[in-house]
């Protein structure tokens, strides 16, 4: 089971729940050799079992920018595109990423 992403609209209502694939998570933190200082927001979801992170406002925009940076570097390009599509909507106010 991967990490769950929950999206919330501007009224604070939950829009959608979807998953960050476990293989993609493994690639991010074990194979991609990402610099934690360059990908600060992404590294907040590194600990698979302790992740309970919310992004909104500036932090959400930085998270989106970091995903954009890795989009063309990963063999999980389609997954990154799907995540970006779902969290970068006009009606998305915040997201929450949770683990087990």
Q: What is the pLDDT of residue 13?
A: 95
Q: What does R_g of the chain's alpha carbons equal in angstroms?
A: 13
Nearest C-alpha neighbor of 95 from the set 17, 36, 38: 17
pLDDT tens per residue, range 69-94: 999 899 999 999 999 999 998 899 99
* Domain parsing of the chain, residue ranges: 38-100
- Count other C-beta atoms under 10 Å from residue 42's C-beta: 19
Q: What is the pLDDT of residue 1?
A: 63
pLDDT-derived band at 48 (thresholds 50, 70, 90) equals confident
- pTM over 0.85? The answer is yes
Burial bucket for residue 70 (CB in 10 Å: 0-12, 13-18, 19+): middle
Q: What is the pLDDT of residue 2?
A: 80
Instruction: Give the integer Cα–Cα distance in Å for 81 and 91.
Output: 18
């Amino acid at each position: 089971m991967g990490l769950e992403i929950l999206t919330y609209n501007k009224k604070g209502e939950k829009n959608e729940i979807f998953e960050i694939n476990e293989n993609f998570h493994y690639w991010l933190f074990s194979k991609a050799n990402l610099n934690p200082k360059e990908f600060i927001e992404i590294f907040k979801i590194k600990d698979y079992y302790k992740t309970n992170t919310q992004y909104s406002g500036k932090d959400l925009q930085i998270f989106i920018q970091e995903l954009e940076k890795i989009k063309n570097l990963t063999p999980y390009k389609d997954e990154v595109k799907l995540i970006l599509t779902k969290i970068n909507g006009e009606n998305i106010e915040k997201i929450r990423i949770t683990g087990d």
